[in-house]
Amino acid sequence: KVATGSGCPAAIADSQPVDMPNPVATFDTTMGEIKCEIYLDKMPITASNFIDLANTGFYNGLHFHRVIPDFMDQFGCPHSKDPKSSRAGTGGPPDGTYKNLVTGATEKRSGGGNIKDEFAAKISNEPGTLSMANTGSPNSGGSQFFMNTVHNDFLDWFSPGESKHPVFGKVVDQASFDVMVAISKTPTRDDCPVTPVTMKSVTVA
């Protein structure tokens, strides 16, 4: 469609819909900063849930409760506010609603803060990706997610295996990935870091 009558190319350009770039989340941890693109365009339900939790400060002050070298770093349980809590890994956000930032629809968190499984984009659990944690049951993801430090394709929702973990983001640079790997290699006891790794803040811009 060509605009007429203005004679100004800028006016034509301004009249076209613009694809907004995906937001970038900054994870400020005690071991360094991790920046990840959040796939709002491909995974709007999951990404909107994460962005809502980040923007309300849900993640600030929590700890990585499970880290395994050559595998992943798990994070996002509210019980991990106490880094030594035996309940870390079992919690989720409060039940309620949040806005789908793509469609404008109201999405629900229910049954312990769980959201709908979003088996939409076929994005593999590659190194540097963010992926939803769940209990193994359908629709059991909430606030917890993990950072893949290797290619864990057996966790893909579209793989033949039982584990179904949708990816909703990925690191934007090598420095961020290096921090992910460093966290995974920190000394642990029962997979929990001996020296707590704290999430000082998560911001999305």
Known catalytic residue at 144: no
Known catalytic residue at 71: yes
Give percent above pLDDT 90 in the chain. Answer: 90
pLDDT score at 184: 98
Known catalytic residue at 64: no
Contacts of residue 167, defined as CB under 8 A and 6 or more positions apart, other chains included, come to: 39, 43, 121, 123, 124, 125, 126, 129, 130, 131, 156
Region of 204 (left: φ > 0; alpha: ψ -120 to 50; beta: rest) is beta
What's the distance, Cα to Cα, between the start and end of the chain in Å? 32
58, 109, 165, 177: which one is catalytic?
165
Instruction: State mean pLDDT over 4-20.
Output: 48
Give percent above pLDDT 70 in the chain. Answer: 91
Name the pTM for this structure: 0.90
Q: Is the pLDDT of residue 4 over 90?
A: no
Mean pLDDT of the chain: 93
Distance CA 117, CA 133 (A): 11
Q: What is the pLDDT of residues 170-197, one digit of tens each?
A: 999 999 999 999 999 999 999 999 999 9
Known catalytic residue at 74: yes
22, 49, 74, 125: which one is catalytic?
74
Q: What is the pLDDT of residues 69-122, one digit of tens each?
A: 999 999 999 999 999 999 999 999 999 999 999 999 999 999 999 999 999 999
